[in-house]
Structure 1
Amino acid sequence: MQITLKDIARMAGVAESTVSRALNDKKGVGKETKLKILKIAKEHNYRPNQLARGLAAKKTNMIAVVLSEMDSPGNIEIVKYLEKAAENVNYQIILCNTNNQQEKEKTYLSLLESNQVDGAIFIGGKLVGSHLLRASFSNENSIVLVNRLAEENFFTTVLTDYSNGIYQAAKHLLKEGYQKIALVSGPKDNLVEEEKTNGYLQALEESGLKIKEDLIYSTDSSREAGYNAFLKIIESEVIPDAFISTKELTTIGLVEAIKMGGYFIPDDFAVIGYGDSILTSIIEPPLTVLSEPLEELAKKSFNFLLKLINDDLDSKKIEVLNPSLIIRDSSLAKYN
């Protein structure tokens, strides 16, 4: 059983307040008494209750990292970089997964509102709801959004320029000679996915191509969804010659469906995926992908949050980072 402050006080024959002063190296404790207390604490492997100390001091050195999707490889990479940044300044993270459920998000938000964490970073998800918006009105709630949009600029936010990323991908395929490019995107009610679709539409319009609705397919973010998207699109009136997938897992399913159908990449269909992760790196032929600056997203969002916690940020900030198109074999020129 974990030894408590009260246990140490009883063993040392002193008051709890004396133990607290000794352990926190504060004045008012004799040298011999302090050494006795420290010896007892060391022998019994005493660890202070960080949460209790934080509640008393209104600082816990802990932050909540709230994920909309735990199965997104990109989100997990951001969490890893956040954890590393936090450890460098003696902070810890509490990982919370909402699975895009608003009620879960409200529950995790209560950690911040009850001072159990010093701040919160929300990664991904749908348009900010009223509960999170209300929380932003209090200066005591330090909140940073990562790759999540709000209708009003009440949040410090770090974003990937999704529209520009998919625009780059579509322009690359058009330059390579592909004319019938299908887009496999996430749910229609997700504004981030809407931004990706806008980039696709812009590239096609600039090239003078007619938009074919049959080539735009919205689905969820699973591997199975990517597989089924290919089967659906291939049965439509317009057969594509290239695909852009906006999610890591749908990309895996899409490639699997193409190969199971006896087709070849890029001979029959060129493919551009999303996310330069361990999953996409094992695809053959090597996959052209849009790679997000995940480490930079994490570092900037954490630094913003620290400034909010320490009242060093004079106004809400929005920083937009560009993804990079990594060109590999899967999108080579159709006409050699």
Structure 2
Amino acid sequence: MTLDTRKFEVLRISILSLCNFACVYCAPKEKENLTTHKNPSQFLSPERLKTNLKKLIPHINIKEVHLTGGEPTLHKELIQLIQIVNQHGIKDIALTSNGNFEFGLIPKMKAAGLTRMNFSLDSLSQIEFERISDRKTSISKVLEHILEAKQLGLLVKINSTILRGMNDMEIIDLLQWSGERNIPIRFLEFMKMGPLHKEHPTFFYSANEIRNQIDTKYKFQSYPTASDSTADYYITEEGYIFGLIANHTEPFCDGCNRLRMDSQGKIYGCLSDETSFDLPDNSSQIKKTLEQAMLTKKREFTGSELSMKYIGG
């Protein structure tokens, strides 16, 4: 696929840049006090979302909107944001969360129009979970939310970022836990982004190493994968489905159809490029801006010093 034939079809929106975790691969040693951050520019307003969708929809066939962060469940107007997306006729509305939020929120999100949830789960060990997230949070709360979302009929996936020397020995356990509950899990190569940009080689654990480790216990074969998917999927003889997202060793940039928006409403064409664009008011200028954003897309993932929480995954 070439830049000439590629189209933006998925809109990923980082609705806020704050998080209640400080994961080592995103915000190490960062302990933000949420009560001191009242700058409205850190939270995408419902008005800005509505305006930007109105601008984009005439130019893009948006098949999916994916709400990310930061931690999107911290947004005080999250339900309204989901409703706005739903009101614009977008049927596939997803959200990625760390699972550390109050009980009772998932039914409200589903009623507003949410169809899918991805949960970040990097460890099943309480000790390692706290080490990676840098927070004293119960892992059982996260697991309960994963199961609740599935029980309520949302499509659920688990994302596990594998870090050498931290959770690389939990791959089998994570696969078994998710597989036994019929939940697909995706193992991610640690991306060269944010504060650990320079330390990337220290923690990097490749997709091939993940695949080889799984092979020590399970027999598996390829599983049908969409052409625009970021993951290559497999299924074990037990029926456990897992995916590998290998930004670095098995690039998939040529098929990327994602446009990203940050909490200030600026758009980005590529995770590996920090160039952002304001959406102009003039319709003809919007088309030109989207073309410029498309031109920032790289042939392969090169990384960025921009933290993932500002642009979403």
Q: Which has the higher contact order (CA 8 A, sep 6+)?
A: 2
Bigger CA radius of gyration: 1
What is the TM-score with the length of structure 2 in the denominator? 0.29
What is the TM-score with the length of structure 1 in the denominator? 0.28
